Structure 1
Amino acid sequence: MRIARSVASLSPVDVGDHVCWVAPPDDDFQRTARAYLQDGARIGDKLMVVGAASPAWREFQPSQALLVDPVAAAGGAGWGAEGLVTLVRREAETAGRQGFRALRVLAQMERVWPEGTTPEQVAEQEFRLDALIGDGAAAMVVCAYPDTVFLPETLVQAAGVHPHFSGRPERAPSFQLFSSPEGHWTLSGVVDADSADAFHTAVIELLRTTPTLRLSCHGLELMDVAGMQMLAKAARAFPDRRILVEGLNPTVRKCWELLGFAAPSVPVELAP
């Protein structure tokens, strides 16, 4: 099972990791990005930067790094939810054929997302990307979301749907929802009033394409009333789908029942 974790730097990032980096100002960003790419060059990874040319990786071009600028490629509009996923899938396969250990990606998300991108679009793409990496693609992806560019609600959404987080501790997500083997989705941390909207968006996006959503909650510490309301609301929006919740702690389970959510009108099943 993939385990959620926060990383103080990008040095521990390895194959199979999907990291939300709430990026600092320019100087710190360039220094950290350069170190991340240098680590990959040293151990035999194929380097790919999704974004604009920058001193942080200029030294790797053209022989050591592939630079793809979504803004230039899309005529200034950026990409939709599938663009980055398709690119990573293709280049990871190419890297394997070329003899690289893995594909190492640094994505400047302000270049990926067009203006006006919604939290729902962010959740959709990041879930697709996480499923790709979690299913065994020989890749690691760091999604850099500058905190001076994105709205707080977008940052909460982005961080909550990555297994790993890097950035200032106060920016760390309260919950994390990410793919696990065998069709499970792991939910960990705390779902409270501050994160309930982002959690609802995430569950809605999963239900759009998942007949049975299996939530593994062994790492869930707390879900308050707001979180439970949003889980029930998402379930009611897709009455033909099924949510199976596994590993829920006794306290949350009891509150769910006392608040009346254990009812036929809420298609959420709590596994024994």
Structure 2
Amino acid sequence: MRIARSAANLAPADVGDHVCWVVPPQEDFHRAARAYLSDGAELGDKIMVVGSPASVWHEFQAPVGLLVDPFAEGPGRGWDADALVALVRQEAETADRQGFRALRVLAQMDRIWASDISPQQVADQELRLDALIGGTQALVVCAYPGLGFLPGILSQAASVHPHFAGTRTAMPPFQMFSSGEDCWSVAGVVDADGATAFFTAVTELLPGTVALRLRCDALELMDVAGMRALARAAGTYPGRKILVENANTTVRRCWELLGYDDPGVPVELVP
């Protein structure tokens, strides 16, 4: 069973992990990134770097590595939300056929996303990428430079990864991640600080399912802003329903007191 995890560095990363790495300006990015990639090479992983030109990562070239530069298509153009997901799926299957232990990916997000990327696009890609990673022999670190994105983008990105690396000040209040088909775990605290990111994540998931399951075993608290965001998200796509599973007594009681325990709200709290 996957659980949310935060760490100061990339050392704990392992197969099945999907890490949001918020890189602070003082961090020696290439030193830390090379250590992460070199660890994988020693363990028998196939290395894939999606980011800067191949000359920067020359020691990880074929046959043990694959280096992809999105800027080869034109600086600043960015990829669409399907590109990275499709590439990881394809190369994970290839790595398995080639006999590697796993596919180990470093994705430099400032060279993947266009400058005008929206929180909705970030949530869409990262949630689909997380669902993929949970069922493959792969681990992916999405590197987001702290000074390269607006705070709203960083907050959205961190909230839709099960694993986080970086400074404590950049840690998300909650994390949402795949727990199986049409099932997503929510851990931490969904309050006013994370309500917007939570609403965006839920509304990106709803179109693909009739009943969206949110496992809340590790949800500590959902305040008024979080519950309002959940109810509002549930109403954005008529005919869909959200099942909130294993919420604690406090969350359940507050939901009832706020009047959301109503047949008109397509959210059901279940054991």
Listed as ranges, the gaps of 5+ residues in structure 1 are: none
- CA distance in 2 between counterparts of 1:25 and 1:96 reads 36
1:106-125 map, 5 Å: 106-125=106-125
Counterpart position of 1:213:
212
Counterpart position of 1:20:
20
- CA distance in 2 between counterparts of 1:44 and 1:211 reads 40
Relative distance call for 1:27 and 1:244 in structure 2 (3 A) is closer
**1:58 CA displacement:** 3.0
1:246 corresponds to 2:267: no
Q: Say whether the 8 Å CA contact 2:20–2:161 is kept in structure 1.
A: yes
Question: Structure 1 residues 75-84 or 239-248, which shifts more?
Answer: 75-84
1:172 corresponds to 2:171: yes
Q: Say whether the 8 Å CA contact 1:33–1:56 is kept in structure 2.
A: no
**1:70 CA displacement:** 1.4
Deviations 1:48-89 (Å, cap 9, x if unpaired)? Answer: 000013776333235432111112136751101100000000
Percentage identity across aligned positions?
Answer: 65
- CA distance in 2 between counterparts of 1:30 and 1:104 reads 16
Q: Say whether the 8 Å CA contact 2:54–2:67 is kept in structure 1.
A: no
- CA distance in 1 between counterparts of 2:247 and 2:152 reads 27
Counterpart AA for 2:67: L
Q: Say whether the 8 Å CA contact 1:236–1:265 is kept in structure 2.
A: no
Secondary structure of the corresponding residue to residue 235 of structure 2? helix
Q: Say whether the 8 Å CA contact 2:54–2:68 is kept in structure 1.
A: no
**1:182 CA displacement:** 4.7
Q: Say whether the 8 Å CA contact 2:217–2:248 is kept in structure 1.
A: yes
Counterpart position of 1:139:
138
Deviations 1:161-203 (Å, cap 9, x if unpaired)? Answer: 0000000011011000110035321001000101100000000
Counterpart position of 1:68:
68
Q: Say whether the 8 Å CA contact 2:53–2:68 is kept in structure 1.
A: no
**1:26 CA displacement:** 6.8
Counterpart position of 1:99:
99
Q: How many residues align?
A: 271
TM-score, length of structure 2 as denominator length: 0.96
- CA distance in 2 between counterparts of 1:178 and 1:64 reads 30
**1:25 CA displacement:** 2.8
Question: Structure 1 residues 31-40 or 48-57, which shifts more?
Answer: 48-57
Counterpart position of 1:268:
267
**1:24 CA displacement:** 2.4
- CA distance in 2 between counterparts of 1:250 and 1:64 reads 51
Counterpart position of 2:45:
45
Listed as ranges, the gaps of 5+ residues in structure 2 are: none
1:33 corresponds to 2:43: no
Counterpart position of 1:11:
11
Counterpart position of 2:189:
190
- CA distance in 1 between counterparts of 2:54 and 2:100 reads 24
- CA distance in 1 between counterparts of 2:192 and 2:31 reads 36
Secondary structure of the corresponding residue to residue 220 of structure 2? strand
CA RMSD of aligned residues (A): 1.5
